[in-house]
Chains A and B, each alone.
Chain A
Amino acid sequence: MTQMHTTPASGWLIFTSFMVAFVLTIIPLPNDIEAFRPEWVALAVIYWALAQPQSVGVGVAWIIGLLLDIVHGAVFGQHALGMIFVAYIVVYLHQRIRTYPLWQQLLSVLMLVILYKLLLLWIFGVIGRSLDVSLYWSSVLTSVLLWPWLSSLLRRRTAVQR
């Protein structure tokens, strides 16, 4: 067994990665590809909840979600609610998802992002905000396509398990 002493990522690394995710979320994009912007922050939450569930759990995900509400000017708690559901599932299943082959991981991430966006859409519906749904789901695709890179990072970080 190749025992690698992977030291847990410091708080600074996690903080910085979330900052980058926030920046990527609101940086201006051309109108045509704007709808395809990946759900960076949701991906970051999934990644850290998988890699280090002891430091990024449901509580952290909730705070991140609240900040995302502020940034988006959304109703308070909308993204927070989506985030805690995603984080709860990931933390609950992290041992299993880590050992999945890539295509199965892709499927689980697909499901998680769909769940996240479904919750957002549902709240949009409840508060009566109409939105253009024609391209609403396209960002799910781009988010999932990013996962292989994150997955390889994850492999390195959780190498002990393999």
Chain B
Amino acid sequence: MVLALISFALMTADHRQHYLEGVRTGLSAAVYPLYYVINLPIVAGGWVDSNFTTHQTLKTENDRLHSEHLLLKAQVQKLAGLNAENRRLRTLLEASTNVSERISVADIVAVDIDPYARKLVINKGRREGIYEGQPLIDGAGVMGQIIKVGEPSSIAMLITDIGHSLPVMLNRTGLRVIAVGMGASGEMDLPHLPNSTDIKKGDVLVTSGLDGRFPPNYPAAIVTYAEKKSGQPFMQVRAIPAARLEHNREVLLVWRAQDALERPLRSTLPEATPAQGKAPASTAPNSAGVTTKPSTLVKPLVKPLATQPIPPTAAPPAKPTPAAIR
């Protein structure tokens, strides 16, 4: 009886007041060996797999990665130029500049903690600076967010969980929608869209960033079904996540721009973060000859509009214009 009362008290304290986060963090360290043991066969399998591959497979994989690397490098070059141009245009518009985020990699621990929810455990926790509500992405799109932080590991909720809602934006039209997870089916529902909405199968949904949690403009989902039914007040719209939720071994953790500014940016992901105006200059190769001309051209335009930090932003935007045009 007493224990039942204590249980109730604990539940209230945990759910309403979040008093017990410290206790949970500590105890989750005690449970981690269990996760580790369960994960072990899979890690061992991976080790065996990687140690007993033939020379031929390695060769082909290496070739493939080489060509992929070259391709991506070329794309990043263009991206740097576009990014700088984008920032220049934004300064002209006096809009907030879009500073890149800091990203770090974590492994998924192969345990299934909750059969009634779409959750996963990752092998990074408070030690690595993980915080509650932190977004989780993979190479293709948004995966979910951290809901419980432990010392050595954390628990994340996927965007398809029945308790998860993600503010997204229709890439084609800019329409803002909420994408609600549907649980077991692995789909997302877009509720309360009027029948006149311009949305169709194949449309890409990106994060809108309005939640203040997910960084904007990451691909989130692709519309798979959009049906107008006469007699129904709303459209029936379904989408599947862009991220490969079930096929990943690794995930990427994102620190949003404000947090990222405090840390050294180029040490974690140099190519994708042309942050303080240094990266564009180094990655746009044939812009050395035309440095002075465009900057004089831009300056008078910028001056009357932007009152605060022009020096760091006004210098780089001028340079990469040739790269962007090319």
Residue-wise, chain B 1-18 has the 8 Å CB interface mask toward A (1 for contact) of 001101111110111000
Q: Which of A34, A62, A75 is the one whose CB lies under 8 Å from B115?
A: A34
A23-B38, A76-B13, A76-B24 given as contacts; is B7 within 8 A of A37 (CB)? no
Which residues A27-80 have CB closer than 8 A to chain B? 27-29, 31, 34-35, 37, 58-59, 62, 65, 67, 70-78, 80
Residue-wise, chain A 83-110 has the 8 Å CB interface mask toward B (1 for contact) of 0110000000000000000000000000
A13 cross-chain contacts in B, Cβ below 8 A: none
Query: How near does chain A come to B241, taking the closest CB pair, in angstroms?
Result: 15
Query: How near does chain A come to B26, taking the closest CB pair, in angstroms?
Result: 10
Contact check, B184 vs A132: say whether CB atoms are below 8 A apart. yes
- The answer to whether the Cβ of A147 comes within 8 Å of any Cβ in the partner chain is no
Q: How far is the CA of A110 from the CA of B193 in the complex (A)?
A: 44
Q: Which of B11, B23, B24, B116 is the one whose CB lies under 8 Å from A132?
A: B116
A77-B7, A81-B11, A139-B115 given as contacts; is B110 within 8 A of A67 (CB)? no
A23-B37, A23-B38, A131-B116 given as contacts; is B3 within 8 A of A62 (CB)? yes
B31 cross-chain contacts in A, Cβ below 8 A: 67, 70-71
A59-B3, A131-B162, A132-B116 given as contacts; is B34 within 8 A of A75 (CB)? no
A-B contact pairs, 17 of them (CB 8 A): A26-B38, A26-B112, A28-B110, A31-B184, A31-B246, A58-B3, A70-B31, A72-B113, A73-B119, A76-B13, A76-B14, A76-B20, A80-B7, A84-B4, A85-B4, A134-B184, A136-B116
B: residues with CB less than 8 A from A are 3-4, 6-11, 13-15, 20, 23-24, 27-28, 30-31, 34-35, 37-38, 110-117, 119, 147-148, 155, 162-163, 183-184, 246
